[in-house]
Amino acid sequence: MKLMNKLALKVPPLIVAITTALLMWLTALWLPQQNWEFRWWLFSLLMLMGGGVGLSGVLQFRSSKTSVSPTNPNKAETLVTKGIYQYTRNPMYLGMAIMLGAVACLLSNIVTLIWMIFYMIYITEFQIKPEEKILIEKFGNDFKSYMNSVRRWI
């Protein structure tokens, strides 16, 4: 429980994603690589998809005139439920996860996907769940209803 409190909302998710990508790269250096001929196509497709999902989340926050700060969810002034937020409660984190999948494809190493799963677990435990607690306090039943109707990831 103490570890949860120490890490909750402390490390910006982008830093977690970049660190995860570096760990994926280091893993690929140590393990044999497969030669996926389609890796550049898949990498490009997933990067565009992930970037689009994440960017649409940021733009929806901006159009709702609310804070995008992942380390201070208390700054949120509006509960955003439109646009991509009708399909996922966390499009910015989902976008980063998809882009990490793209990195795994580029590295042609399926073992590196373990790091993407680690990213998703870390973000869920130390970012999303603490955010949800704050948003429940801030928006009450509106957020609880939203949580019941829209999935955390997809």
How far is residue 26 from each of residues 36, 42, 51, measured CA to CA in Å?
A: 18, 21, 23
In a domain, 81, yes or no: yes
Split at pLDDT 50, 70, 90, the class of 7 is confident
39-66 pLDDT, tens digit per residue, is: 999 999 999 999 999 999 999 999 999 9
Structural domain count of the chain: 1
pTM value?
Answer: 0.93
pLDDT for 76 beyond 80: yes
* Torsion sign over Cα 57, 59, 62, 67: positive
**pLDDT (mean) for 81-101:** 98
Q: Give the range of the structural domain holding residue 102, as residue numbers without chain letter.
A: 37-149
Instruction: Give kind and range of the element (H or E) at residue 149.
Output: helix 141-149
In a domain, 154, yes or no: no
pLDDT for 1 beyond 60: no
Higher-scoring residue by pLDDT: 144, 36: 144
Distance CA 134, CA 130 (A): 7
94-151 pLDDT, tens digit per residue, is: 999 999 999 999 999 889 999 999 999 999 999 999 999 999 999 999 999 999 999 9
Distance CA 31, CA 115 (A): 14
